[in-house]
Structure 1
Amino acid sequence: MSKATNKIKMRKRTLLIVAIFFAVAASAFAQRGGGGQGQGGQRPDPKVQAKTTADTWQEKFGLSDEQHTKVYELLVASAEKRTAKMTELRGSGTMDREAMTAAMTKMQEDQDKELKKIFSATQWTSYETWKKENPQTQGRRGRGGQ
């Protein structure tokens, strides 16, 4: 074989190795969730998430600035309680899904009781209607895209 043929074979082999490396790296990145909110990725900052939600609700339900502040504070406190409770349940070692679901449902009900105190009757009705029309916003998102 000539040197030129060997060079071409070496280049093809190197190119194949590089292509395999990138395919494996891309697959691993996709599995990890890409560092975003996917399964295994970073969770969003509760304060940022609470602000986004409070801002959205202010626009959607016509909250006053005072209501917006109260809703934001409630959402941050709820997120902190939820995180603490989930950490506690995971730390128990049982990973009891039913207990986690029951705890999350109870915390959502408690949060809604507090929201009802903040919202006007009209805002509360709008919120309840919106919640029924958008069940995915109540923590029942699909896996991998939360």
Structure 2
Amino acid sequence: MIKEFKEFILRGNVVDLAVGVIIGSAFTAIVKSLTDNLISPMLGIFLGKIDFSQVVFSVAGAEFKVGLFINAIINFLIIAFVIFIMVKIINKFLRTEKEEEPTTPSNEELYLKEIRDLLSEQQIQSDKNETNL
């Protein structure tokens, strides 16, 4: 059982996932800081202070902090947009135009093409015979 666990942990995709989670959490902290310290204040200049945290309604003594939820949605949308822009920029830099080398068809592909051509010829001849009748 320990051997199987060791194989599972050392498998490439588990290690890759762990690295992805660690980098993702660090990246989230960076983007949250960008949102909180740069983007939100900039939006505050143009739209006024965006803070719904005081919006609360009560029902039977229970407080529903709708404003905090709205703030979380706004932060999520800003973070998602920033990540979207960053991914587009990264993809633009990583994109390399690869020229596809013409590959020679395998024997299997050649046979299949011949069969296709023969079937096409048979269909054409069949259609001609039907029109002559």
Say which structure, 1 or 2, has more relative contact order (CA 8 Å, 6+ apart). Answer: 1
Q: Which has the higher strand share?
A: 2
- Based on CA coordinates, which of the two structures has the bigger radius of gyration? 2
